[in-house]
Chains A and B, each alone.
Chain A
């Protein structure tokens, strides 16, 4: 039998509930017959109607197996056509479509029909939006479950080019923010990783920036602050994102974390120092990678850092932030802002450190932190300055700028630095000049270069021996033909040797001295000298070795979670030390901290000697020392080992 039922909207009536079958009423049959020019009697129509129903049901049942074998849930027109074809019936059901055809009811009378709109071919032909071809069928693989656990990646994502804020994106945004700010550290890690590598989230950037600007509202919660900072880091590292003017907003959020007296810092147990350190690092990272996006960013940052530093009303933790911020921005920043400001600031700090009253204990501890941070910053300043000078001296040519030479020297000497190389040169000077107008008579604006020896002398007057010991390069530069470095090394040596004498007059906090393995604790350089020629690895150029030692300082800072180790660890470390001091008194202290420090930065330490070689020790074969080096580096060795390292500690000094 052959009937074109799709042309005649069948009047389907649910006759009896229990039958659950659609039936074609005889009226429909009659209508169809009439349209074909045939008159049907009632009984014939009834017979036909029933037969049609049965055949339709049969065909439907048969078509369902085509659906099952095609592994689908939805019966398609093709399935039905196939069933008809295999039962030797003309396929009459039309063509299939991906989308379900809308089946519309007609209000008057119970009539249902498939909507069949007219297609305007002219319009279609002249349309400018040429439909894209279907994407290639492809196979993608992903590890869905590792060892039968956990869904590592949402499976079945389809790449899309849509950048508008679709539902998917919104969902993504919600999921990501929830994951980052949520409790699950694993989830957070995954979310951050994705944020760092997802190429399709440009549309969400403003939302994320907004979330990050929420730092001000969570200043009581170090954990959340940390998470937000990590979010900043991920966004900054995402190679697909163009941050544009959002950099400013991100920077201000980061600066907030660096400089503000956070509510969380009220409790001394909170380690907001780490947060500040991390934020400072992040700041420098943003600056060096995205600084070109906003003009004058560098000077704005410097300005705000300087403002904080010069404001005595601000708490010490803010000052600390300013110092680490400057430090992270590079030694030039330190030279321009911190160094000129130091004499003024020193008086305040000294006052804090000299106050031994119980009520001041907390503030004093903070003061030590700041002290340590300043110390690290100025040491780096000195080292880098020396390097740049020596490089320029090596370059020799008058046309060659010291900064350029310094840059080169830096580059070749620090291959291992992961963040973008920190140029020794300033950002374009034009910025500085245009900022001078807005500056309010800050010291660094009328800054004139200070010669290295002068600088050293001044700094030494503040820090004394602790500076001398941490500061390297003397002998390394000794080989260089330039006169200045030699001179500097000489000047350095003198205070170094005089350190023991000056000791009593210096209001040097004992702890800091310990931490830095000051000559007073670990023995003066004269008593425990190590020949510089031994320290320097054979075959390496002297200049290189010295600079690599200097670069080790920032590296250790960046790698350690608590870079402000110098002073504060007096608080943190001592109670936690698991090893009982083997001896009574200060030497034990030095041993412990020394070991720890060596562990962290032993590579840098072994070159830190600026003292004239004692001829007697020069005879020591280089090998003997070299093979001790690994011992210095080991941290996780049993106590017995520690005694070894204790001994070895003395060698470089």
Chain B
């Protein structure tokens, strides 16, 4: 977590931190509930017979239980890549902090949701088409000019030929 150099305000704990704290608290309270007194009380007859053994069995039980639980949590974190995801989500939430309106959520209807995903491609396509259309129109304009010039020239030639023809009649 962490503010920048000058600000003394501590940042709110990130998800990873909260996760760790919550798990630790759970374990603490569980161990507190399953106290040695409670254990010895339940196994009273054995306790009377072998108090040190009872203590050592209890200690092992508690430490093994804690270890197993912590291991399981670590496995879940590793498999799910949770550390990275928690930090990433914290960032995303922080960036959205000025958004008051509820954000978009999948509607459950793929045809509806895919529309917005396609729009950027369609917009690109449209601007490409506009560009090539303009270029084609410009190109054709120039060719059309040449065609008109050509027609005039041919008419000219025909007139010249007519003139010569008449001169020989």
The finding on whether chains A and B are genuine partners in a shared complex, rather than unrelated, reads no
Question: A residues touching B (Cβ–Cβ < 8 Å)?
Answer: none
Question: B residues touching A (Cβ–Cβ < 8 Å)?
Answer: none
